[in-house]
Structure 1
C-alpha cells in the first residue's frame, strides 16, 4: 500500500464531501450531539463522541477501501458482498427505506431552521431545500462531490465558531460546565440512551446503514485504496472536532437551548446577532448538501445518475419527501429514525467483521457480469 498513488487534492475533496454528508441536519442543528451525548452531561458526552469517532474510523477505513478496490456496478451491491444474496437483499431494501427516512428527517430539519430564524413557514422552507437538493442530485455524483467537498470545511468552520464562543464563556465561568452537566440530565431533552457507551455504539452504527452506499461511492472515485482510507479518516477527524465543540456549547448554554428545535441557531443568536445572520444560511447549506447526497444515494438504487430514469425517480422521491417532512416535529423524527438505524446495523457489523477478519472467502459475490469476486486484500 505504501506505493499507492495519493492525490492530496482528491483526499481533501473526499474528506470534505464526507463532512458535508455527515454534518447534515442532525449535526448542524445540534440535535444529534444533544440526544446522543450532551444530554448525559459534558464529560460523558465528550467520552461518547470520542468512542463514537473511533468506531466510525474503523468502519469508514474498511468501507472506503472496499469501495475503491471492488468498484461495484451499484453501490448497494456491498450488502450482498458482505451478507450473501438473501440476507444482502434484505439489507439493501432496509437501507433504501431507512436512508429515505433520514432524507425526510433532514428535510424536516431544514424547515425547522428556516422557520426558527426567518419566521418563514417551515413547510415552505422544506420545499425550498428539497427542490435545491433535487437540482444538485441530477447533476451526477462527480459534480455533487465537487460541490459538497467545498461545503464540508465551511460547515466545520462555522460550527467551530460556536464552540469557541462557548470556550470563552467557560473560561470566564469554569464551574458552569460541572453545574450544567448535572442539570442537563434532568432538563427533559430527548435522549437516545442514559448509558454513554451504548450511545456511542448506536451513534456510530447509525451511519453504517444509511451511509454505507455513500462510503462505497466515495471510495470508488479515489485512485487507490490508500487515498480512499486517508480521506475517510481525515473526514472523521473533522466531524469529531465539531461534535466535541457542540457538546461543550450545548452544556454551557443550557438555558438558551431549552425548547429549541435548532440549538445551534439559538446559541448563535446569543453569542452575536451578526453571527446568527451568517450562521442561518450556512446551517441551511449544511442541511442542503446532506439532503442532496442522500437523495442521490437512494435514487442510485433504481437508476444510474445522469439518465432520464434517474431524473424522473429523483423527482418522484423529492415530491413525496418534501411533504412527508412536514408531518412530525424535527426533534421527534430524529429520536425515532436515528436509533432504529443503529440497532439494525449491529448484525451488519458482525457480517463485515466476519468477512474482513475471519473468513475473507465468505459469501462469494457475483458481479453483474457474472464473475465471482473475492476479497483480495491489498
Structure 2
C-alpha cells in the first residue's frame, strides 16, 4: 500500500523545490561554495560529504514530520520540537532571518541585473519583486510546482561546469592536486579555517533558513515515505551540485581569483553561450529564492491564497523593494549568519532528543502490549 502511494513526479518536484530554495544568489554565483568548500581545495569534497550526512538526517526527519503532523502553520514545528517558550523564540528568529535574507537577495538581484545587462538597478529590483510576488500569491503548492522544475535545471548547469573541470583533470591528471595546494595562497575568503567545520556549518545554515519550507514540502507529499524520499533526493542532488562546483573552482583556481562571480567566469571560459545562460540562471536563482523566502515569511501570519495573505505579501514586498538597498546587508549577514549556524545546532539537538524519546516511548508501548 505504501509503495503505491509513491509518486515519482511529486518526489522530483519536491526535491527540485528544495534545491531551488537552497540555490539562491550566493550559490549560483559560486561564492557560497567557494567560501565553504572550494577554499579548502580537495578537502572541500570531504566537507560536502559531511554536509550530506548531517543534512540527510535533518531533511529526512523534517519532511517526514511535515507529512505526519500536517501543521496548520509550518512554524508550529518549532514548538513541536522545542516547547512553547523556546519554540516561540525560534519562530520569531526564523521569521526575521528568512525575511532579512529575502530583502538582501532582492537588493542584490537588482544590482546583479544592472551589472550583467546594464538595466537600472531599481528596474531590476522591481522585475524580480513583481515576479516573486506573483509566484508567492499563487500559494505554496503552485510555488513548489514552479520552483520544483527550476531546481533540476540549476543542478544541470552547475553539473556542466563541474564536468568541464573533471574533463580538465582527465586531460591533465596532476591539475587537481596542484590546484588544491595552490588554493590557500590565492587569497580566497574561507567560512572557517577547518574544512570539516565548514561543511557542518553550511549544513546548519541551510537548516535554519529552510525549516518551515521543508515542513511545507513534506505536508505537500502524498505519504510519509514519499516525503522522506523527496527530502533525501533533494539533499543528495544539492550535494552533487556542491561537489561538481567545488571541483570546477579548484581546477580553475587562477581563473576565478579576484572574481566576484566565479561560476560566470568559468562558464564564459568554457563557452560564451554558456556564460550567457549562466547570467540568466543567476537571475532565475535569485527570483526563485526570493519567492520562496517571501512565501515562508508570509506563511507565519496567514494561510496562503487568502486576502490577509495577499495583503501581507504585497506590503512585505514593497518594504523589501524600497529598503533593500538601504540596509547594510554585509553587517546584517555578518550578524545573522553565525547566529543562525549556532542556533541551528541547538535546534538539531532538539530534533535528535525528540526522536530518541519517541523511539523509547514506542519500545515501552510494545513491551507493555507484549506483557
1:1-378 equivalence runs, <5 A: 5-41=5-41, 43-327=42-326, 337-358=336-357
* Residue 133 of structure 1, CA deviation: 0.5
Residues 306-335 of structure 1, C-alpha deviation per residue, up to 9 Å, x if partnerless?
Answer: 122211211222122234443478877666
Alpha-carbon distance in 2 for matches of 1:361, 1:288 = 44
CA distance, structure 1, for counterparts of residue 76 and residue 250 of structure 2: 42
**Secondary structure at 1:211 match in 2:** helix
**CA shift at 1:66, angstroms?**
0.3
Taking a change above 3 Å as real, the CA distance of residues 109 and 333 of structure 1, as seen in their structure-2 partners, is farther
Alpha carbons of 1:133 and 1:314: their partners in 2 closer, same or farther (altered >3 Å)? same
Identify if the C-alpha distance between structure 1 residues 328 and 244 changes in structure 2 by more than 3 Å, giving closer, same or farther: farther
More deviation, 206-215/124-133: 124-133
Post-superposition offset of 1:276: 1.1
Cα deviation 1:123-172 (Å, max 9, x = unaligned): 54333212211111011111111111111111111111111122222333
Instruction: Spell out, residue by residue over 1:86-123, the C-alpha distance to the aligned partner (whole angstroms, 9 max, x if none).
Output: 00000000000011122123224423432342233445
How far apart are residue 278 of structure 1 and its match?
A: 1.7
1:296, distance to aligned residue in structure 2 (A) = 0.2
* Residues 222-246 of structure 1: CA deviation (Å, up to 9, x unaligned): 1210000011111111111111011
User: Which stretch shows the higher mean deviation, 283-292 or 216-225?
Assistant: 283-292
| 2:28–2:281 Cα contact (<8 Å) kept | no
CA shift digits 1:244-268 (9 cap, x unpaired): 0111111122222233222111211
Q: 1:277: Cα distance to partner? A: 1.4
Measured in 2, the distance between the counterparts of 1:327 and 1:27 equals 23
Q: Which moved more, 1:305-314 or 1:68-77?
A: 305-314
Answer whether contact 1:29 1:109 (CA < 8 A) is retained.
no
Structure with more helix by fraction:
2
What is the alpha-carbon distance in structure 2 between the residues aligned to residue 330 and residue 30 of structure 1? Answer: 18
Shift in alpha-carbon separation, 1:90–1:155, aligned structure 2, 3 A = same
Quickly say closer, same or farther: Cα 1:146–1:166, change in 2 above 3 A.
same
**Tell me, which stretches of 5 or more residues in structure 1 are unaligned?**
363-378
Q: Which runs of 5+ in 2 are unaligned?
A: 362-371
Deviation at 1:190, TM superposition (A): 2.4
Report which stretch shifted further, 46-55 or 18-27: 18-27
RMSD: 2.2
Indicate conservation of the 8 Å contact 1:116/1:262, yes or no: no
SS at match of 2:5: coil
Farther off after superposition, 150-159 or 167-176: 167-176
Displacement of 1:61 in angstroms is 0.2
Q: Is the alpha carbon distance of 1:40 and 1:100 closer, same or farther for their aligned partners in structure 2, counting shifts above 3 Å?
A: same
Q: CA deviation at 1:337?
A: 4.1
How many angstroms apart in 2 are the aligned matches of 1:263 and 1:330?
A: 21
For this pair of structures, how many residues does the alignment match? Answer: 361
Q: Specify whether residues 224 and 359 from structure 1 end up closer, same or farther in structure 2 by C-alpha distance, changes over 3 A only.
A: closer
Give the CA deviation at 1:180: 2.4
2:364 is matched with which residue?
Answer: none
SS in 2 for 1:115: helix
Per-residue deviation, 1:340: 2.9
Is the contact between residue 80 and residue 87 of structure 1 (CA under 8 Å) also seen in structure 2? yes
Deviations 1:282-324 (A, max 9, x none): 2211221111111000000011111222112112221222344
Aligned mates of 2:336, 2:214 — CA distance in 1: 20
Contact 1:67 1:217 in 2 (8 A): yes
CA distance in 2, matches of 1:334, 1:174: 39
Alpha-carbon distance in structure 1 between the residues aligned to 2:157 and 2:334: 25
Aligned to 2:369: none
